[in-house]
Structure 1
Amino acid sequence: MQAISSSHVYPKLFVLIVLLLCALSWTGSVDFIATGYLNDSIVDAGLAFGSARLMNAGVSVLQSTTLSIQFFGGTSISIGEVLDPLNDMVEDFSTVMKYAIGSLLVQKVMLEIVRTSFFNIVLTLSGGVVIGTVLYGAARYQLIAFKTFITFVALRYLVVLMALLSGMFGQIFLDEYIKKDLQALEMAQSNITELDPQPVIPENLRLELEADIQSRGAEKKILAQEIAELETLSQEKAQTLEKYTSEYEEYPLSQRYNLLSMSEEVKEAAAQKEMAETEYKIVVQQLAAAELRQSKLDAEISTLERQLSGESSGFFEDVGSAVSSASKKLIQLKNKFSYESLKGTIGNATDSMFNAIVSFVMRSILFPLLFLYLVTKLFRMIWNIDLVKRMQQTKGRTTSPEYNY
């Protein structure tokens, strides 16, 4: 690079360009636009990362269940088997989002650094030195001053240019897709955490459920009458037991507990008391069994009514909890619809994550890599130094035996 002298360039035009670059750096007019683009990108990446973590939490909750889905024909599949691929995809997506957020934060920090007063002062001083060497013909110092000024200008505006190009490219080509992907991710996350599909009950199955409810209702009425009769009978048996117990206890203790001198009257009273006690216990047991059956019928009727009305007891239901053959068929039908819904949700979530990965990689990773590439090339062009080779040489020297103490 040749030295800059007044005989080869127009000094006034050169001074004007330097002053404009310095003034533009101090005004920071383009910095606000670049900062806005970065902030929007960080918000989008944060929303995507948050949706992924919520989705991961929902998947973990579903995977914590050990339920196997049983379909018509006896085939079954574990929920964990269905959700494992999605869980792996969510983990990979979260990792990419971490890198994307980190890259965007680094860009923002770099932008804040080149916006500082200190950097602007250094840039202005280097510009003043260049102007001085041009105006006063200090050709000996022109080259180094020009290289220094160009280096600071490149650092100052390449960072801003990178953010602007990334933001403009995203706004023109990616923002629409990113918004759709974020909406799809939010919907997929909501679907996973609140999965509650309800199939349309076929008419024949509905009739079977209604018949089950009616039969249990009829049995419950008969059982209620039986319970009432058993309650009346138990009261009678209790009174009979109390009567024979009182008659037996009227005899002296010496006659009741002395088997050798026990009279026939005492023996007959003891037998009557024992028989009354046995009959009372039998009636009490029959009453308890009838009441237990009544409670079971109430629970079965409640379950059938819930299934008939479409109320959900969870994403998947265990076929073993069915209370009738019709109930079992409905649970299998619901599980089939739930499985199909889950598959659709997984497919939509996977597609959305793939699309979001591509968009965020292009916006927040490829542009910074392009920036680093341009910086290394510009540095080599200005200073005739290959930063990559110099770093490799430095690394080789630091790891050689003579540098290991």
Structure 2
Amino acid sequence: MSFDPYPPKIQHPKTRNILVISILLLVLISWLGKLDELSTEYIDDSLVKSTVAFGVARTLNAVISVCQSLTLGVGVANVTIGEVLNPVNNLVEDYASLMKLAIGSLIIQKLLVEIVSDTLFKILLSVSGAILLIGFYFKSGIHLNFLSRLFLFFLFIRFSLAFVIIMNSFVDQAFLDEKTQDDVEALSSLSHDIDTANQIQKISVADNKTLSDQLLQLNAEEQSISSLLKKQHQLREDANDSVNKADENIKNAEEKLSLMQRLSDKDLSSLKSTASAKKKSLQLLEEQIEELEENMEAIQERKTYIENTLTGKPNSLMESIGMTVSDSMSSMKSLGDKFNAFSMKDKLEGAINGILNLMTLFLLKTMILPLIFLFALSKATKLIWAIDIREILTNPRAQGNQH
């Protein structure tokens, strides 16, 4: 007595042949490993891009952290860079954390692909497929459903992850990759711009410090010269009084002598020699005072120039005119770099959308889409699992003729 509910004569040969060819093709694809190769290539490429995006985030975070300690001065106004950069820096830190998750997800996917592409799973799929093929040609077909579901189980394990990754790669390349690349390049450019602005600001701060040091030195020199001038002026007054007194002594002596006596009198000659020496000393003091006053004037001019430069005021009529003309676009040239802070603020505010887009794109391509495809594939597998393979292999016409 036969327990085969579906004798060979009622099996549908054409359907059976299609199933046989399909099973053989699936086993062959499993051994060739082309799907594994494609999925691994996509994961490796995604890992590179994710690592680059994470590196850009860390670089941007480091650059912003450095810039947060700087303060820009424009005239009498101060702009604290930390106030401008804090919101963006917090968002960049969240973005970097998300990139860690994305990279971790890709590494897990790659590891799982390597596991299911191992020879063991290829053998299990091949053996289950061979047993199912044997079941098609043997009289006892009562276990065909079990064998087909066993083959389907190993087929799901062997190909589901590779299929999900490949489907994800199609969506990524068609819709997401170009946008992701543009946003990463924009963030990289922003990092470079901030770093450049930071270097410019460092130079500006260094220049200001140099000018401030020079101003302190000039103040000290001015004080020293002022003190020396005070002493020289006092000496000049004393020397002038001494010369006047000497002239008066000569005049008094000449009044007591006749013309002939004046020519031969030794005391008068001595008075004249003394007066001449005192006049030379007075002249030397005048020259020293004049030189000191010139130095004082030069120091004061230099001080005025430095003070105007530090406060952003013009140092000449032409500079004043130039400032008035260009005031609508920027202040004077010495403040041009500082105005970059405000344009940088606009760039940072614009970068927020880019960072949010990148967070969404990487979350979508590395976690959400794979889960969606895996869920859809599992649903499809469950539907296939519910199919009775023996009904597919049954020939309705033959069964009708039998009745």
Q: TM-score, normalised by structure 1?
A: 0.59
1:182 aligns with 2:184: yes
User: What is the rounded CA distance, in whole Å, between the counterparts of 2:307 and 2:348 in structure 1?
Assistant: 30
Q: 1:59 touches 1:87 (CA, 8 Å); kept in 2?
A: yes
| Amino acid of the structure 2 residue aligned with 1:32 | E
* Equivalent in 84, 108, 111 of residue 110 of structure 2: 108
Give how far 1:302 is off: 8.2
Could you list the per-position Cα deviations for residues 343-373 of structure 1 after superposition, in whole angstroms to 9, with x for gaps in the alignment? 1221342232122223223322222111331
User: What is the rounded CA distance, in whole Å, between the counterparts of 1:380 and 1:27 in structure 2?
Assistant: 27
* Equivalent in 191, 194, 206 of residue 192 of structure 1: 194
Which has the higher Rg, Structure 1 or Structure 2?
A: 2
| Amino acid of the structure 2 residue aligned with 1:132 | I
Secondary structure of 2:24's aligned partner: helix
| Amino acid of the structure 2 residue aligned with 1:36 | E
Secondary structure of 2:197's aligned partner: coil
Farther off after superposition, 95-104 or 47-56: 95-104
| Amino acid of the structure 1 residue aligned with 2:158 | R
Secondary structure of 2:143's aligned partner: helix
* Equivalent in 32, 48, 55 of residue 50 of structure 1: 55
| Amino acid of the structure 1 residue aligned with 2:113 | L
Secondary structure of 1:361's aligned partner: helix
Distance 1:13 1:335, change over 3 A: closer
User: What is the rounded CA distance, in whole Å, between the counterparts of 2:360 and 2:100 in structure 1?
Assistant: 14
Q: 1:4 touches 1:143 (CA, 8 Å); kept in 2?
A: no
Give how far 1:136 is off: 1.3
Secondary structure of 2:22's aligned partner: helix
Higher-RCO chain (CA-CA 8 Å, sequence separation at least 6): 2
Q: 1:166 touches 1:367 (CA, 8 Å); kept in 2?
A: yes
Could you list the per-position Cα deviations for residues 206-255 of structure 1 after superposition, in whole angstroms to 9, with x for gaps in the alignment? xxxxxx9xxx9xx99x97x969x99xx9xxxxxxxxxxxxxxxxxxxxxx
User: What is the rounded CA distance, in whole Å, between the counterparts of 1:339 and 1:97 in structure 2?
Assistant: 28
* Equivalent in 348, 356, 359 of residue 354 of structure 1: 356
Give how far 1:30 is off: 2.7
Identity level (%):
28
Structure 2 unmatched ranges of 5 or more:
202-210, 233-291, 316-330, 387-403
Secondary structure of 2:139's aligned partner: coil
User: What is the rounded CA distance, in whole Å, between the counterparts of 2:375 and 2:28 in structure 1?
Assistant: 27
Aligned to 2:95: 93
Aligned to 1:153: 155
Aligned to 1:377: 379
Aligned to 2:64: 59
| 1:2-401 correspondence to structure 2 within 5 Å | 6=8, 7-10=10-13, 11-65=16-70, 67=71, 69-71=72-74, 76-195=78-197, 322=310, 325-326=313-314, 333-334=335-336, 337-378=339-380, 380-381=382-383
User: What is the rounded CA distance, in whole Å, between the counterparts of 1:136 and 1:128 in structure 2?
Assistant: 12
Q: TM-score, normalised by structure 2?
A: 0.60
Aligned to 1:237: none
Give how far 1:33 is off: 2.1
- Superposed CA RMSD: 4.2
Give how far 1:174 is off: 2.1
- Give structure 1 regions of 4+ aligned residues with deviation exceeding 6 angstroms: 296-304
| Structure 1 or 2: more helix by fraction | 2
